[in-house]
A and B are shown apart, each in its own frame.
Chain A
Amino acid sequence: MGFPHKPHPKETVVLSEHFGRAETRSLTGWKKVGGYQALTKARGMRPADLVELVKASGLRGRGGAGFPTGMKWSFMPKEKTKPHYLCCNADESEPGTFKDREIMRWTPHALIEGCAIAMHGIQADVCYIYIRGEFTDCLAIMETALTEAYADGLLGQGKGEMYIHRGAGAYICGEETALMNSIEGRRGNPRIKPPFPAAAGLFGLPTTINNVETLAATLHIVNRGAEWYQAMCLSNPKSVGTKLLSVCGNIAKPGNYEVALGFPLRDLLYDLAGGIPNGKTLKACIPGGSSVPILNRAESEGCILDYEGCVAAGTMLGSGGVIVLDDSADMVYQIMRLAKFYAHESCAQCTQCREGTAWTVKILEKILGGKGAMTDLDLLLNLADQMTGKTICVLSDSCAAPVVSGIKKFRGEFEAYITGKRQPALAFA
């Protein structure tokens, strides 16, 4: 449902069914709506069969990359010789994304159940749920729920241990290997791959890391089967199931909406989320969280919300954080603001990212201040090129994506600042 709004008939409500209902937060409330039946069922299955079930469902990682979840699980060693770990990535920090927050806030037991199912599938002994430090309410709710689950005998006593680890405010700790470093007590720096987590992850042991929404989806797959999940598809058969989309920005009804993959972005914006308010029109949309290329109005209105559809539109589905900008938006400022976020959050390991993100901000601020030159646009594009595909993780790529797509699609706005057609932004003059 479109919490905090009433569900829209075009939504496909699975994960968000209980959003807004405080009673399902408790263990008893969760059990009343059928909670932990999936876990019992899953624990009755052989781990390999559980992995096959998730593979067959077509579930793909909801954190951003869209990697097939069952396949990721199958990378874990078949013959268990060492302890296995599960990490749940609840460090939801992508600007514009707030779906995992709602899952934890309203259905904490759905996440615990999903984690416990995944633990059985990958034969994990321990699960860490890494929650973003700023999510104080989620943290409290999850801790209460975890205590309840332990007290009920769902965890512990040989059924696996689950811990909540609180982040300390770094965006980069949402990158899977940085997250592992952070849990280990190290600086949250992404690690070089290989080795991949399934071979050497947390504490150097085989580890699977999944997003909150991915794990929460597994219990429904166990309950209702792979075919049911496969059937939730409106476009490309490679993208199935439901996706929570966080809509924010210049939109009438910001919030979370759950739709089957393949849903048109146009319908999400104009039907579900109520369109652009204050008599304005749509100018641009970033459909997958701040790290993906910006779409202009025409592209947005033609974009299909699934992994392939977004790529066809020139962007990515990412985490499903839909940022909406109306015709009053200053694209140069918005892009500078995004770049500034990445410059602030760069872990400082890779040269291109450490220096490139900050330099990009300086050039954009110069343009905003009316002191830019046309050559600065070429320079920005050249820097972006050198910041893409050259570093350990994709933070620097993420900084470059909106710059490249912004200059390509809204070049006129940059040129207006440079030629003096537009007054300099006071803060940067």
Chain B
Amino acid sequence: MTAPAATALVTLTIEGVPVSVPKGTLLIEAAKQAGIVVPHYCYHPGLPVAGVCRMCLVEVEGAPKLHIACATAVAEGQVVKIFSEQALESRKSVLEFLLINHPLDCPICDQAGECELQDYVFQEGRANTRYSTYAKRFNPVEDFGGDVLYVPNRCILCTRCVRFMDHVADASVLNVSERGDRAFIGIHPDAELDHPWAGNVVDLCPVGSLLSKDSLHKARAWELDKGPSICTGCSQGCAITLETRANTVVRIKPRSSEVNKYFICDHGRFNYRWMNRGDRIEAPLVADGGDLHAVDWDTAMERAAGMLRGVKGPVVVLASPSTSNEALAAAKTLAGSGFIGAFRVPRVPGEVPLNGVPHLALREERAPNVRGATDLGYREAFDEAVQQAQGAACVIVLEDALDGVTLPTRTLYLGTSLPTGARNAQVVLPVANVAEEDGTFTNRDGRRQAYAQAKAAPGMARPASWVLAALAAGVAGARA
């Protein structure tokens, strides 16, 4: 079978490295194949090309002028020089131009440490400025509404934010106002930047011009530890990075993936404070004389194994659809032939799509693993299962939201906190939350996606999948 024309390859040389890429590929993308990121500001793979920052000028052999790598398509036999003297000189000059009106307030700028202006000036910029005796342009900080502050003095007019709102969010509230060096990002006088996906403009901003009020002055970028994760805000399954400082999640950023391209919604972005909640169970508890007492893991596990060993009849598993596939599977195995699995989904009517990205929306089901639970045989029949639990041989609970639920005493509860409904349980095992464990969720389209631990679990808490697997081994008689 011959390859279709659409996949025709073009071979070119970038900085001496031969590269073959599909016809129509932009030089800036082709350069990545050669392992080089061409310095750039306005270009973003998720936005229409603007070609305005002129930072990505590169030399194409035989061409009289430098070309912008973000708007030049590859051509057969092209020889591209990214670090030629001419290209370097040109980028050095762009950096100098960008800095003449840019305040050097990096010590108090939230972007410091993850600022592309800082990075490229460090990499390729001049050591001194020739713009010494003139005042810099000054405009006051503006509250754009929503979560976004605009610091016009730092703005380099890359227009990523404008293009995001125009072409991706499909809500044109930002523009470039004025001309020449007086230009700034303007907002419609009757509008606020409160679009449900507007927070992305902060991520897109290559400098510290658009800032999140939520994370304003909260942490220095270089102090943050970053863990790849999956958003728990809904069933879409957006890839995110959990950023922690001193074992506390302080910020969520989108991570690029097939599912969400480069973006996340504001609901997901701010869905992290619960990960840091202080009222966690830190030790295993067992019922003793109508009270729960803290014990060590071995004691608790032995007691839990005892509840399940030789059990006959239905074993009801009440699970949250935010539980990992691994924990759900282990609980099902543990329940054996009497398994009855159920969950309930928090729902908010009305999807909130990001118009410019197909199949991307904040979904009605506000839990990450509805599909995973369903695939494993759990049913969305929580109330019915609570009824069945009353006569069950054993009940395993993996759900913190137990408002209005009374559980029988034959209950094994695995949770992060201890709601009233769980106080009847025989054994309470402290488990990690999503930020504290490794696992997978299956999104609404059936993609099974891994998330990684971003911070340590409090006290003696352990991942639920680990606990359940160990318990299954203990029930079978082996030593855990």
Contacts and interface: CB of A to CB of B under 8 A. Distances in A.
Interface of A: 170, 172, 187, 192, 343-352, 354-359, 362, 366, 371, 379, 383, 386, 389-392
A344 B157 CA distance: 17
A354 B184 CA distance: 11
Given A192-B51, A392-B51, A347 B97 contact: no
Contacts of B90: 386, 390
Q: Is the interface of B mostly helix, strand, loop or mixed?
A: loop
Contacts of A366: 133
A345 B180 contact: yes
B307 interface: no
A357 B52 contact: no
A199 to B, nearest CB: 14
B54 A345 contact: no
B130 A352 contact: no
A256 B131 CA distance: 42
A355 B97 contact: yes
A362 B101 contact: no
B101 A355 contact: yes
A200 to B, nearest CB: 14
Given A344-B180, A351-B98, A390-B57, 10 more contacts: A343-B180, A348-B178, A348-B182, A349-B52, A349-B157, A351-B52, A354-B97, A355-B100, A355-B101, A390-B65
B163 to A, nearest CB: 12
Contacts of A343: 180-181
A358 to B, nearest CB: 4
Quick one: which of A192, A366, A391 has the most chain B CB within 10 A?
A: A192
Nearest to B73: A194
A258 to B, nearest CB: 34
Nearest to B178: A348
A352 B180 contact: no
Contacts of A345: 179-180
Contacts of A170: 179
29 contacts: A187-B175, A192-B49, A344-B179, A344-B180, A346-B181, A348-B178, A348-B182, A348-B183, A349-B159, A350-B52, A350-B54, A351-B52, A351-B54, A351-B97, A351-B156, A352-B93, A354-B181, A354-B183, A355-B97, A355-B98, A355-B100, A355-B101, A357-B181, A359-B131, A371-B133, A383-B93, A386-B90, A386-B94, A386-B97
A172 B176 CA distance: 15
A354 B180 contact: yes
B9 interface: no
Contacts of A350: 52-54
Contacts, number: 86
A351 B134 contact: no
Contacts of B173: none
Q: Give 9 closest A-B pairs by Cβ, nearest first.
A: A348-B183, A358-B181, A355-B97, A386-B93, A346-B180, A349-B52, A192-B51, A389-B65, A351-B97
A157 to B, nearest CB: 37
B71 A192 contact: yes
A350 B179 CA distance: 11
Nearest to B159: A349
Contacts of A351: 52-55, 94, 97-98, 156-157
Interface residues of B, number: 36
B357 interface: no
Nearest to B181: A358
Given A350-B54, A351-B54, A390-B57, A356 B180 contact: no
B387 to A, nearest CB: 62
Contacts of A355: 97-98, 100-101, 181
Contacts of A383: 93
A372 to B, nearest CB: 10
A346 B179 contact: yes
Given A362-B134, A390-B66, A348 B71 contact: no
Contacts of B89: 386
A185 B374 CA distance: 51
Contacts of B134: 359, 362
Contacts of A389: 64-66
Contact of A390 (B54, B101, B159, B179): B54
A386 B87 CA distance: 11
Nearest to A346: B180
| Interface core residue of A187, A346, A351 (most chain B CB under 10 Å) | A351
B179 A391 contact: no
A392 B52 contact: yes
A350 B42 CA distance: 10
A371 B252 CA distance: 51
Interface string B159-197: 100000000000000011011111100000000000000
B180 A357 contact: yes
Nearest to A349: B52
Most buried by A among B57, B134, B179, B183: B179
A324 to B, nearest CB: 28
A389 B181 CA distance: 20
Given A187-B175, A345-B179, A352 B51 contact: no
Contacts of B130: 379
Contacts of A347: 179
A358 B180 contact: yes
Contacts of B100: 355, 359
Given A354-B157, A355-B101, A366-B133, A348 B51 contact: no
A366 to B, nearest CB: 7
A348 B181 contact: yes
A170 B178 CA distance: 11
Nearest to B179: A348
A379 B100 CA distance: 14
A224 B93 CA distance: 53
B293 to A, nearest CB: 68
Interface string B33-75: 0000000000000000111111101000000111010010000
B179 A352 contact: no
B119 to A, nearest CB: 17
Given A192-B51, A345-B179, A354-B180, A359 B97 contact: yes
A418 to B, nearest CB: 14
A351 B55 CA distance: 8
Contacts of A358: 180-181
Nearest to B134: A362
Given A187-B175, A345-B179, A366-B133, A352 B65 contact: no
A373 to B, nearest CB: 10
Nearest to A187: B176
Nearest to B70: A192
